[in-house]
A and B are shown apart, each in its own frame.
Chain A
């Protein structure tokens, strides 16, 4: 990790909090605000939004007062894992559980640099078998196993 002059993590964190808070305040404008005595649905979220903006400002401001470490996100892991789950979500209803499971395992395996094609295929086969055994036959959850929409 490389050292930086300002604390980039805190700067990001503060900006993120300000952004979320501002979004909450902005969206909650559409909800009736009400009064202290009779709060409308907009009262609580608007207050929380302002609190979040305030906290974000303090966090981001503090970032300029000290140094920090350069954050190093594991992009490869992030993309492979999230893409795998996304594939599962998109495939499970259209193509069935077996295809979704296989896609999940094969895509997420890309996160690990040491994974091999053969190992991944074997793992996917084992996990598909295990899923069927535990969830479909064992617990009797009615999944659609296989489907070909075309």
Chain B
């Protein structure tokens, strides 16, 4: 039983005192920033990236991953109590979570979303443990043509399935690809887009780009807007957490369906937990006997998206670790962390670093159990966190950003990059661009160029190589189907008025 051996190795790594400590630190911090509206997992992971340079790669990834899935647990708290999503992926939870709170059922909603999150994570972890290694074996046979086509699929999926105009989404990805090219070209040693500035010869600083685009831009958009919970709504007793028998009965199938939808979008490279949550809500509404209950406090409407976003957050590790293609923007940062530690992402990670791979998976189990303990009995503490005024929070966030970026190379030029990307990020928000896919493009830019060059060198300039190799053709067919689907749904939406979107989504 190879799986048992592997898991044993994993638990051996994950149960060491240091790993346990950093796992706990990660999930606690993740829940904290998930609860707070206006601070997302993306901003936090990029803020803490410099700190993890001092840890060994396994521990670093365990902690960063903990922040990510911990935030999925915490995200629903503000959605339910304030009608304001703590994380983008919890935006759908507002639709039925806030009405439940208004009906005096906030406790039930908070408890049940924790259960849904745990369930979704467990399903996804089983899928990772079972399928990641075989998938990596298939991926070992990929050549440059396959990689290029897969990246096209992933980037287009990230660009078009996000909210807003698909053209804008693709434009953001292309901007990201271009930014990724800044620096020295690996093939010829030529300086590209560096404007003669020596600090740019190694490319833009990943942490500065991420913090500017997400951390700083989020702060600019949120100052003066974020509300805090008033004393009365913040009182959650343990007794109020207990669901009725009817709640439990109604929750089973939405959780199972939500986990499935989440796992699908998690594995699909480029798409992450926000899309999964929206899709699973749409699925629930479609299969429901009485769709009119949705939006008025239907428990199905919180169970499905919460299990979906956790399931997606966990299964996004599958493409990231086995193919080296990030599942979403946070995963792009994880890949960045791996590269900084000198580990080349790709199918060889499973074989060459089994301790890292299986240790991470084992830490998911442990982290999720910690999260249930953190979120069920201690929910009152997290609700109290919503009383911290943003006026204190945002200068602290900006300070952490500045110090974090500065400490990487002790170079003030990196902090200047944060200013530029903060401006770019906020400008993109104003122009209605979704900035997250930019990071995917930025990470994949150099890789994509490299694989395109190699594929065409091997085929002697014959473009049909992408269609004659079966796996590559498969990816391109999927890309074509995706574009057809997006066009079809855009046309359908034009005929019928679009449903009102969640505020702040």
Question: Hey, which bits of chain A sit against chain B, CB under 8 A?
Answer: 9-10, 12-13, 16-17, 20-21, 24, 27-28, 31-32, 35-41, 44-45, 48-49, 51-52, 55-56, 58-59, 62, 71, 73-74, 77-78, 81-82, 84-86, 88-90, 92-93, 97, 100-101, 104-105, 108-109, 111-115, 119, 123-124, 127, 131, 135, 139, 141, 143
Contact = CB atoms under 8 A, between A and B. Distances in A.
Given A55-B167, A59-B165, A85-B398, A77 B431 contact: no
B291 interface: no
A78 B188 CA distance: 40
B167 A81 contact: no
Contacts of A113: 224
Contacts, number: 178
B407 A27 contact: no
B223 A81 contact: yes
Interface string B419-438: 10011001100111100000
Given A81-B216, A82-B419, A104-B395, A36 B431 contact: no
Nearest to A69: B432
Contact of A56 (B165, B171, B457): B171
A108 B178 contact: no
Nearest to A45: B181
Nearest to A93: B412
A19 B116 CA distance: 46
Q: Size band of the B side of the interface?
A: 35 or more
Contacts of A52: 171, 174-175, 178
B167 A58 contact: yes
A119 B168 CA distance: 42
Contacts of A12: 430-431
Interface of B: 51, 54, 165, 167-168, 170-171, 174-175, 177-178, 181, 185, 187-188, 190, 192-193, 216, 219-221, 223-224, 390-392, 394-396, 398-399, 401-403, 406-407, 412-413, 415-416, 418-419, 422-423, 426-427, 430-433, 448-449, 452-453, 456-457, 460-461, 463
Given A20-B178, A24-B178, A81-B219, A41 B224 contact: no
Contacts of B175: 17, 20, 52
A127 B395 contact: yes
A9 B431 contact: yes
